[in-house]
Amino acid sequence: MADSLCMYFQLHQPWRLKWFWPGDPYDNRERYFDYPLTRSIFEKVASRCYFPATQLLLDMVREHDFKFSLSITGTLIEQCELWEPKLIRLFEDLVSTEKVELLGETYYHSLSSLFEDRAEFRDEI
């Protein structure tokens, strides 16, 4: 009997909340989220983690019989689309090897499943 190990990687990047006062003149999304802070953190994490780790995984699946599972939240995809579309292409390259199983993930990586009304959880999945 062969031993096996299932590796699962989860990628998530939240939107950073900002402080505001009721009545501040912002549209709904900009009222709640700190875009400059979110972008700064995203760019740092993308350059130090997402790009090198994803490239390493891509190299490993190409060179070895290495397979794993991966989930990516919608918030990370949104930020990649805004500030680093090359990262999405790297994710696509990784998935195209057919050695990566994509797993369903809640869009916001939320805890909505803990509440009585699970409709939001189902919608996110």
Assign 118 a pLDDT band (cuts: 50, 70, 90).
confident
Which residue range forms the structural domain that includes residue 14? 10-124
Residue 93 CA to its chain's centroid (Å): 16
Is residue 3 domain-resident? no
Is residue 51 domain-resident? yes
Is residue 106 domain-resident? yes
Question: Per-residue pLDDT for 121 more than 90?
Answer: no
- The reported pLDDT for the residue numbered 27 is 58
Assign 25 a pLDDT band (cuts: 50, 70, 90).
low
Is residue 80 domain-resident? yes
Q: What is the mean pLDDT of residues 95-123?
A: 80
Query: How many domains does the chain contain in total?
Result: 1
Give me the percent of the chain exceeding a pLDDT of 90: 62
- The reported pLDDT for the residue numbered 26 is 60
